[in-house]
Amino acid sequence: MATATHDASLVGPIGGIPAAAWDGLCPDGNPFLRHAFLAALEDSGSAVAEAGWQPLHLTLGAPDSPTAAAPLYVKGHSYGEYVFDHGWADAYERAGGRYYPKLLVAVPFTPVPGPRLLAPGDTLKLRLAAAIRGATDKLGLSSAHVNFAGEAEAALLEEEGFLRRRGIQFHWHNRGYRDFQDFLDTLRSTKRKAIKKERAAVAASGVEIRTLTGDDLTEADLAAFHPFYVATVDKRWGSAYLTADFFRRLARSFAERIVLVTVRQGGKLVGAALNLRSGDTLYGRLWGCRREVEFLHFEACYYRAIDFAIQHGLARVEAGAQGMHKLQRGYEPVFTHSAHYIRDPGLREPVRRFLRQESKAQAAELVELRGMLPFHREHEG
């Protein structure tokens, strides 16, 4: 097991690390790890201490020229994470422990799998893992959590005393489809007809749907999206973290990465689905709408995303957390990975037993879910 080293620094907000230095450690394809994305979250007041997200980013080496880094936050709650540990917190606090604050390595409000240990090679990644553990101990916090890490990263973190955990998401995979109909042809007839019926119903509803990217997208488009986001989040979950300023900053910094599916009725914007893209993936992130149109959510968020991926030769669409309804629309179940360092053995051992049972159940669940996919048998992945 590696040991924490003296050159680890807890920096604070992402502005304390030069953008070029941070981005030099990031994989080129993942937009959510970019300095500008994290800065938009923090500088807009979305991911800040007042909201329960205190930035405390970790670097190895000097913060102005780090050799490795991790997006780290002190959390005062477990909301906005999508890897659920509320039960652990409740059990620990009933036993007299203090679960919050805790450390979290993640991209706020973003259940997108990707690297969390930003370093060129396993040796530095292990040192980062040790530094996360060391920071937890030094600060006297209950735990540290690394959410939506890569599978190999989760294995490295396990070497450093973290407990591995899996989740399940639904991702659509492009198998060289020529167009949307080519994809439909791989589905069983009942599912193919159901999707056609849904799309036809939306087309006949009177709404106009457009997909905006690049120069077609304006800061005003993103600013106009914010009220739809707030209305949808308030209706379902009751707490909208992302501010209007975040969307404006996103438009300025990420216009070339944004894919916005807009919905208009009578020429007026009534809803939209916000996606970001990398070189090979479209990431479905947020949806908001103020009109009740049957099947519109499926059309704007899933079918238009598939259309875009096929047209642009993208390998997959990651449609975010949860959603069994994605399965029947060709989005396949995949495992996601996280890792959890829990200081107190009195909590760590029960969590270890829980995760062992959870993992067994998930393995069976994945097999069951794959059996529910709508593809002809010869087209199953």
Tokens of 167: 């989740």
Residue 4 has pLDDT above 50, yes or no: no
Region 342-346 average pLDDT: 97
Between helices 151-159 and 122-139, what is the axis angle to 10°? 60
Residue 167 has pLDDT above 50, yes or no: yes
Q: Cα(196)–Cα(192) distance, rounded to whole angstroms?
A: 6
pLDDT of residue 324: 84
Q: Cα(205)–Cα(293) distance, rounded to whole angstroms?
A: 7
Residue with tokens 């396949």: 332
Residue 27 has pLDDT above 60, yes or no: yes
Q: Cα(342)–Cα(233) distance, rounded to whole angstroms?
A: 31
Tokens of 103: 């450390």
127-136, 156-165, 224-233, 341-350: range with lowest mean pLDDT:
224-233
pLDDT in tens, 239-280: 778 999 999 999 998 989 999 999 999 989 999 999 999 999
Region 33-55 average pLDDT: 97
pLDDT in tens, 46-99: 999 999 999 999 999 999 999 999 999 999 999 999 999 999 999 999 999 999
Confidence of residue 344 (pLDDT cuts 50, 70, 90): very high
10-19, 197-206, 221-230: range with lowest mean pLDDT:
221-230
pLDDT of residue 311: 97
Determine the 3-state secondary structure of 226 from DSSP.
Answer: helix
Q: How far is CA 69 from CA 118, 266, 295, in A?
A: 5, 49, 42
pLDDT of residue 106: 98
Residue 54: strand pairing partners? 74
Region 305-314 average pLDDT: 98
Task: Return mean pLDDT, the chain.
Answer: 93
Residue 1 has pLDDT above 80, yes or no: no
Q: How far is CA 130 from CA 94, 116, 369, in A?
A: 29, 14, 36
pLDDT of residue 236: 58
Q: Cα(3)–Cα(151) distance, rounded to whole angstroms?
A: 22
Q: Cα(205)–Cα(57) distance, rounded to whole angstroms?
A: 48
DSSP letter, residue 321: S
pLDDT in tens, 206-248: 999 999 998 888 888 888 889 988 887 766 555 778 999 999 9
pLDDT of residue 2: 38
DSSP letter, residue 162: P
Q: How far is CA 262 from CA 149, 286, 304, in A?
A: 31, 12, 10
Residue 323 has pLDDT above 90, yes or no: no
Nearest by Cα to 101 from 73, 139, 141: 141
Residue 15 has pLDDT above 80, yes or no: yes
How is 175-209 classified by DSSP, letter by letter? -S-SSHHHHHTTB-HHHHHHHHHHHHHHHTTTEEE
Contact predicate 142/343, CB 8 Å = yes
DSSP letter, residue 253: H
Residue 261: strand pairing partners? 211, 273
Contact predicate 5/130, CB 8 Å = yes
pLDDT of residue 161: 96
Region 31-45 average pLDDT: 97
DSSP letter, residue 118: B
Tokens of 329: 């629309």
Percent of the chain with pLDDT over 70: 96
Strands 163-173 and 268-277 turn out to be unpaired
pTM for this predicted structure: 0.94
Determine the 3-state secondary structure of 340 from DSSP.
Answer: strand
What domains are there in the chain, each with its CATH number? 8-168+334-370 (3.40.630), 175-314 (3.40.630.30)
Residue with tokens 């067994």: 360
Per-residue exposure over 277-306, b if at least 16 CB sit within 10 Å of its own CB, e if not: bbeebbbbbbbbbeeebebbbbbbbbbbbb
pLDDT of residue 291: 83
Contact predicate 125/68, CB 8 Å = yes
